[in-house]
Amino acid sequence: MTLNPFPPASAPRDNGDAWVFGPDGSKFWGRYGAAGLLVADARRGVLLQHRAEWSHHGGTWGLPGGARHEGESAADAALREANEEAGVPATAVRVLGTSVLDRGVWSYTTVIAEVVTPFEAVISDPESIALEWVRPELVAERALHPGFAASWPSLRLRLPGTAAG
């Protein structure tokens, strides 16, 4: 099966939108790496994205995020992608820190943030099937993106205050 990272009739929007291949044949999305936003709300939990079937590991739950642009910081990329995919206003969250997974040829940065002004997440591009606020103790019950599933236990410990569950 050939994976098309874009919906039909689309083309890459940025030169960072490309696959990177590891020496073992593994592939990762984002020529300059990728970043995602783990945003926590003390009342609602964490915002998860149900990924479109056509995407890499489609049908799984993960974080809004994607490929970094050339010269773009991980925080800027995560905030941009979360706004593009889930309507997260950058002004509604406060960045608390990051967690980096470095594969040598590629890296993924999880940007951890907390809600400072409540907002409603909105599907704003075709990369999402659904968006939901999920209590941290229930996150692992979802069919998670493999990378997110592996990092969730340590990320959960970094959630602010009561959002950690």
pLDDT digits (tens, 9 = 90+) for 127-159: 889 999 999 999 999 999 999 999 999 999 999
Helices (H) and strands (E) in the chain, counts: 3, 9
Q: Which run of H or E residues covers position 39?
A: strand 34-41
DSSP letter, residue 68: P
pLDDT digits (tens, 9 = 90+) for 8-67: 444 457 888 888 898 888 888 878 999 999 999 999 999 999 988 888 787 899 999 999
Q: Phi and psi for 75 in degrees, rounded to 5?
A: -65, -45
CB 143 within 8 A of CB 57: no
pLDDT digits (tens, 9 = 90+) for 108-128: 999 999 999 999 999 988 888
Q: Phi and psi for 22 in degrees, rounded to 5?
A: -80, 165
Distance in angstroms (rounded) separating the CA atoms of residues 14 and 31 = 10
Structural domains in the chain plus CATH codes: 34-164 (3.90.79.10)
Cross-strand pairs, 29: 19
